[in-house]
Amino acid sequence: MNTDTVVVRTRDLWKVYPQEPEPVQAVRGVSLEIARGEFVAMAGPSGSGKTTLLNLLGGLTRPTRGTVEVAGQDLTALTNRALAALRLESIGFVFQAYNLLPVLSALENAEFPLLLRGFPPEERRRRVLAIFGEIGIEGLEDRLPGKLSGGQQQRVAVARAVVGEPALVLADEPTANLDSAASAALLEMMEHLNRDHGATFVFATHDPRVTERAHRLIRLVDGAIESDVRQHAHPGPADRPAS
């Protein structure tokens, strides 16, 4: 893999939780590379370590040993403050529970990462409105989350994750609370962001609708990689039209 395009690199990554009668090895010796523009699903049974691995990639959990690099930065070497800054700049998160702030409008939720980064109001609004138009939720900018459907809330969450053009978007079971139609629409929207904007997506999922669409499928068993298969070709950075 061309090292210039590598967004994520792990080396001999372990996460062990102290527990009686014996420690739990949630992630065991995982080494992998993910290139810019990939659309990757990490799948496995409950307890396989996929969510723990996703949290390690996002710097939400520190490893017991091994290294994680995102956008050329070694997460394991950063202070908590530097790690928080890197997450804000370089990593977008999409959670199963949406995690929208109930007192903020859809637009305010989506622009929140840009607000934290000091973007001026007009630039924040321009970026959010452009993404809302692309993902089919234009006109909902002023609605509170409680007035949105589950699928609409998840689209706002995805907009929030990608509005700052992060190097990496991590999605933990993003379709778990959606019906089939909403799941299909969400996945098509994410594929559009991947294909047309070069956004790099990594999912933790057990949903076959996600794993079937993924360009690359990593299967985890007992915290270790059982298989790593490329299912579909994905356009590399050189093949993708300039945005």
Residue 60 is part of a domain; what is its CATH number? 3.40.50.300
Q: Is residue 168, in this structure, part of any structural domain at all?
A: yes
Its domain, for residue 60, covers: 3-230
Q: Is residue 235, in this structure, part of any structural domain at all?
A: no
**Domain count of the fold of the chain:** 1
Q: Is residue 239, in this structure, part of any structural domain at all?
A: no
Q: Is residue 225, in this structure, part of any structural domain at all?
A: yes
pTM of the full structure = 0.88
Distances (CA, A) of 136 to 32, 116, 144, 151, 214: 34, 25, 17, 11, 22
Q: Is residue 167, in this structure, part of any structural domain at all?
A: yes
Q: Is residue 90, in this structure, part of any structural domain at all?
A: yes
Q: pLDDT 10s per residue in the chain (243 long)?
A: 555 689 999 999 999 999 888 899 999 999 999 999 999 999 998 889 999 999 999 999 999 999 999 999 999 999 999 999 999 999 999 988 888 999 999 999 999 999 999 999 999 999 999 989 888 889 999 999 999 998 899 889 999 998 998 999 999 988 888 888 888 888 888 888 888 888 899 999 988 989 999 999 999 999 999 999 998 765 544 344 433
CA distance 122 to 236: 32
Q: Is residue 171, in this structure, part of any structural domain at all?
A: yes
Q: Is residue 115, in this structure, part of any structural domain at all?
A: yes
